[in-house]
Amino acid sequence: MIEFDRLKMLLDLFRQPGEIERKLRKKPKRQSAAAVFRGSGDKCELLLITSRDTARWIVPKGWIEDGEDGAEAAVRETWEEAGLIGEVLPGGPVGQYRYIKQRGRRSDAVCEVDVYILKLLEQRDLWPERDERRRKWFPVATAIGLVAEDGLKNVIRDAFRILKLA
């Protein structure tokens, strides 16, 4: 457990009863994410990056911009946050999860994230957010253990199963 998680747990003790449930009833904001794998079989790895604010391990994800669909946003976010160029595998999102985005000065937001599997085409050394994040490839089981959101863990498991069957 990292320092941020300990602090978050402590702060959660002071939340008003029912606050999280109220937030979960609001209409969620849409985001898009990418699960990028390399290798195969027992050698298969998943790319994780650190979040900017908390340095937690996550997959590349972000807001869907005007004129984009979810797949296009996943490709763009993967480039901006991780320096990878890829293409979305056919079939639409592999899964979806929800989380509460804590936004400091603004109220927290419930986000619903569609996750797409990206086929890795190229990895570059220079990318837009290289000074703000770390990127690292992990064996899939290790990556699942490092991710905090249970919903994302489940989507990663499903994506890995789909890749093994392909």
Q: Active-site positions?
A: 80
CA atoms of 156 and 135, how far apart (whole Å) = 17
What's the distance, CA 142 to chain centroid?
15
Task: Give the pair of three-digit tokens for residue 121.
Answer: 């085409």
Task: Write the CB contacts of 129 (distance below 8 Å, at least 6 apart in sequence).
Answer: 52, 80, 81
Rounded Cα gap, residues 31 and 61, in angstroms: 7
